[in-house]
A and B are shown apart, each in its own frame.
Chain A
């Protein structure tokens, strides 16, 4: 089944404790993105990747890192999480930016 998977689905952590949210797609898509969704602010792109080893900043990259060592995986890293990073995070992939984006199920992160 074609899908985007994210782990974990829920995470409660404390300020400053490094964490990684994994994202994997099995559709051989080139374009992958991370978004955060906050009430009243909609979905905002954090980072995107056009292909392996090609990543770039979205609109809200501060406090986040990504890597794209393999085509299928695009982990999101929070080196030192802060409470303002409490949010609902979505990973997505598509053949290209003009094409349908397939979204993962979301990761609800709480930073205390």
Chain B
């Protein structure tokens, strides 16, 4: 059973456009992390959100954790070709130590 659903699954946009990726669950998460993965490599952490309602910014990337800690979003402003990659949300639900990854969003930014 997939506990973390990401949407959209695929996204192809032009350089300079904005986009939002969503990560949704019916379960409450202790914390949630966003990773980016390049082909042939392991995922690399972008950010960790812990508190419900938390917003974190990383240059052109804005991350938000839902008030109920069941969902999160990643917004990219003025996307660049270097943003191309697989974006993954992940975390542990309250009371467990299993680590769950979302289904992933494959982003391609065209120059």
Contact = CB atoms under 8 A, between A and B. Distances in A.
B98 A48 contact: yes
A33 B33 CA distance: 16
Interface in A84-112: 90, 92, 97-101, 103-106
Interface stretch (B38-46, B61-69, B76-84): B38-46
Contacts of B31: 98
A76 interface: no
22 contacts: A4-B42, A33-B99, A42-B2, A42-B88, A42-B102, A42-B104, A43-B90, A45-B99, A56-B97, A56-B98, A90-B42, A97-B30, A97-B92, A97-B97, A98-B48, A99-B48, A100-B33, A100-B45, A101-B35, A101-B90, A103-B42, A106-B42
Interface of A: 4, 31, 33, 35, 42-45, 48, 50, 56, 58-59, 90, 92, 97-101, 103-106
